[in-house]
């Protein structure tokens, strides 16, 4: 074996060790899949199909499959619509890519969906108020609030997202968790985690 080939083999072994370690770490945390990077509606569709197939195979009841899928769709569409890291282009068909992270997993027999993305600092304040309000509601209150919001014209600039958050809270089995990390004067990192 030449020196170069030997060096390549050694470095490949290190890559495999690192990648396997990364994958095992994810598996240990119950992660079914995790996606980081630019997200489009096409990616939502593909991941959503894979998610449904995977959890149906685990003979999960239809109700749970539907709930997990619904939370997944609303969370990912929120990232697509509200991530501050985005590329938009008026091409035909239009290009809309938004950067963020989506993770779906299961823990102690319950599924969870986590999304993370950068948002504007001001939006973070508004969002925190909204989410705190939702966290304090029981299922009947959430049901009424959803209905109330459906009747109203959408908030300015909301693109319908406030109803999406209520939908997530309704399908979740406990109050949704959320957190913000200060990035700069202009931006925060927003994380939403829902157990189903």
Partner 1 sequence: MAVVETIEHEATDRTPAVVFDFAAGQYRLSGESYPEDAANFYGPLTQGLRQAVEDRASDEVEFTVEMIYFNSSTAKALMNMFQILEDGAESGLNVRINWCYHDDDETMEEFGEDFSEDFEHADFRMCPLT
Q: Which is nearer to partner 1, 6 or 41 (CB)?
A: 41
CB of 167 to partner 1, least distance (A): 5
CB of 195 to partner 1, least distance (A): 17
CB of 183 to partner 1, least distance (A): 28
User: Rounded to whole angstroms, how far apart are CA atoms 89 and 175?
Assistant: 37
Q: Which is nearer to partner 1, 67 or 86 (CB)?
A: 67
CB of 100 to partner 1, least distance (A): 17
Q: Which is nearer to partner 1, 13 or 150 (CB)?
A: 150
Which residues are 180's β-sheet partners? Answer: 190
Q: Which is nearer to partner 1, 189 or 195 (CB)?
A: 195
Q: Which is nearer to partner 1, 24 or 45 (CB)?
A: 45
CB of 114 to partner 1, least distance (A): 19
Q: Which is nearer to partner 1, 29 or 144 (CB)?
A: 144
Taking alpha carbons only, the member of 196, 39, 46, 44 closest to residue 113 is: 196
CB of 57 to partner 1, least distance (A): 19
DSSP codes joined into one string, the chain: --HHHHHHHHHHHHHHHHHHHHHHHHHHTTEEEEEEEEE-HHHHHHHHHHHHHHHHHTT--HHHHHHHHHHHHHHHHHHHHH-SSEEEE--SSPEEEEEEEEEEEEETTEEEEEEEEEEEHHHHHHHHHHHHHHHT--HHHHHHHHHHHHHSPPPTT-TTHHHHHHHHHHHSSSPPEEEEEE-SSSEEEEEEEEE-
Kindly list the residues in this chain that would bind partner 1 in the complex (CB under 8 A): 41, 45, 49, 62-63, 66-67, 69-70, 73-74, 77, 143, 146-147, 150-151, 154, 160, 163-164, 166-167
């Amino acid at each position: 074996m030449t020196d170069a080939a030997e060096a390549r083999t050694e470095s490949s072994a290190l890559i495999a060790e690192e990648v396997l370690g990364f994958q095992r770490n994810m598996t240990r945390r119950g992660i079914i899949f995790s996606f980081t990077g630019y997200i489009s509606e096409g990616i939502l569709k593909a991941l959503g199909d894979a998610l449904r197939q995977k959890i149906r195979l685990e003979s999960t009841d239809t109700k749970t499959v539907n709930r997990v899928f619904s939370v997944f769709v609303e969370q990912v569409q929120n990232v697509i619509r509200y991530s501050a890291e985005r590329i938009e282009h008026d091409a035909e068909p239009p290009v809309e890519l938004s950067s963020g992270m989506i993770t779906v997993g299961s823990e102690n027999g319950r599924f969870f969906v986590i999304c993370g993305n950068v948002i504007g600092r001001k939006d973070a304040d508004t969002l925190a108020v909204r989410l705190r309000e939702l966290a304090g509601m029981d299922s009947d209150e959430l049901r009424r609030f959803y209905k109330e919001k459906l009747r109203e014209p959408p908030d300015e600039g909301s693109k319908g997202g406030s109803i999406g958050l209520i939908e997530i809270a309704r399908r979740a089995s406990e109050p949704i968790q959320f957190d913000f990390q200060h990035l700069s004067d202009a931006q925060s990192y927003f994380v939403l985690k829902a157990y189903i």
